[in-house]
Amino acid sequence: GHSAASDDSAHSLPTTTPSGRAFESLRQDNPPPQQLETLGEMGRHEQWLVGKEELQVSPQDVLGMGGFGLVIGGSFHGTPVAIKVVKQTGTLKLLADVGNELRILRKLRHPNLVLFHGACMNVERRDLVLVLERVAGESMDSFVLAPRADGELTDGPSRCQVLLHVSLALRYLHSRQPC
């Protein structure tokens, strides 16, 4: 178990750096525009900020949806991408959640994790979308749980191979310090 002191110090860690403060500002009820601008400047400096003119969005190509909003297909400089769009209701909490995802994804590189291409933001509308690698194939749920055309489930060796790759990704994630 974790002690309260270690949880507090771990939670305060990201807010001790300029980037940590910029991401933490997304958790406020009304993030100051200058903090969102700081986040944009950081994105330009770290080269993850994507201009809206660089994205071709295909709103009819819905790849998935959930409590956060939806994931739609698109193109980024000719590369197929998945664009994670936050729904408009409950925007501030969801904006903070997507901001936290951005804070972590921008530093990760591993062959078993979806590639983060960047993020597109609109400061005035408090809009933030993530631009991610579009992975071809079926979802993990359908691969593991859904019967194939012959009525059988995916075979054991294939499942073990997927489990190995997921384990490698988790091992990598646990070796990183998000900041």
71 vs 65: CA distance, rounded Å? 6
Residue 12 has pLDDT above 50, yes or no: no
Per-residue pLDDT tens digits for 68-80: 789 999 999 999 9
Sign of CA dihedral 42, 44, 47, 51: positive
37 Cβ neighbours under 8 A, 6+ residues apart? 123
Q: Is 84 labelled a binding residue?
A: yes
* % of the chain exceeding 70 in pLDDT: 75
DSSP string, 49-71: B--GGGEEEEEEEEEEEETTEEE
Q: What is the pTM of this model?
A: 0.79
Q: For the beta carbon of residue 102, count every other beta carbon within 10 angstroms.
A: 22
- Per residue in 36-64, pLDDT (tens digit) is 788 888 889 999 999 999 999 999 999 99
> What is the phi/psi pair of residue 176, to 5°?
-95, 155
Q: Report the pLDDT value the prediction gives residue 148, as an integer from 0 to 100.
A: 76
* pLDDT at 13 exceeding the cut of 50: no
Classify residue 63 by burial, with Cβ atoms within 10 Å: 0-12, 13-18, 19+.
Answer: middle
Do the Cβ atoms of 56 and 75 come closer than 8 Å? yes
